Amino acid sequence: MPLLLQWNPCNQRLQKNLLIFAFDLFYQQRKLPAHGKVSSLGVIHSMRTNLISRAGYELLQQELDHLWRVERRETTEKVAWAASLGDRSENADYKYNKQKLRQIDKRIRFLQKRLEQLKIVDYSPQQEGKVFFGATVSVENSAGNELTFTIAGPDEIYQRDDVISIDAPMARAALGKQLDDEFTVHTPAGAKTWYIVAIDYRLTRTSDS
């Protein structure tokens, strides 16, 4: 179903963020196969929304810069040194660093392509009171179980247990909800109902917002 947004000059950043998400969601749904792979966390792996926070984008840029300027240069020098020692077939240093160089180059190519695809979503004061990208949300179910998570882009969730991807069913179901609203999350384990008990943007709010 098309998402129609009426332009309002008073909240341009919020509407820009909503338009970015709406078009990206529509595009991803068009690409989603009939049977997407679902993990135990309920994330549909075939979907990969191209949204990211400014801080997350800068971290990926820093990683790319470090790989290109430091890691790749040092590893290339080690490969050249190991190759100069003679027989490469029995040269463990050469084999190890050659493999490492291939892995570095693979990651560099991925980051270069990914950074071109990503769309930065900045915080807007008009987001306050509702769940949008970047919100830290606390939810509770009827059994009294409570969860707190920050909604982030799929490139920002690795090695972190305090964030969930905006592609996760929990995040999708909570988007647009307000304090005390209830929503239902559909996962392979069944449908579960949750209630919004807190919404906060301290992690994404900046001094100039």
Q: What local confidence, expressed as pLDDT, does residue 129 receive?
A: 93
Task: Specify the fold of 54-119.
Answer: Helix Hairpins (1.10.287)
Task: Record the pTM.
Answer: 0.72
Q: Which residues of 16-49 are buried (b: 16+ CB within 10 A; e: fewer)?
A: bbbebbeebbeebeeeeeeeeeeeeebbbeebbb
Per-residue pLDDT of the chain (209 residues), as tens digits, is 333 333 344 444 444 444 444 444 433 443 333 333 333 333 434 457 899 999 999 999 999 999 999 999 999 999 999 888 877 777 888 999 999 999 999 999 999 999 999 999 999 998 999 999 999 999 999 999 999 999 999 999 988 888 999 999 999 999 999 999 999 998 888 899 999 999 999 888 764 55
**One-letter identity of residue 111:** L
Closest C-alpha to 72, from 117, 46, 102, 35: 102
Beta bridge partner(s), residue 104: none
Q: What local confidence, expressed as pLDDT, does residue 203 receive?
A: 82
> Taking the domains of the chain in order of start, what are their residue ranges?
9-51+121-200, 54-119
Alpha helical stretches, state H, the chain: 12-31, 54-66, 72-83, 92-117, 169-174
Give the CA count within 13 Å in the CB-facing half-sphere of 152: 20
CATH (one of 3.10.50.30, 2.40.50.100, 3.90.1150.10, 3.40.50.150) for 9-51+121-200: 3.10.50.30
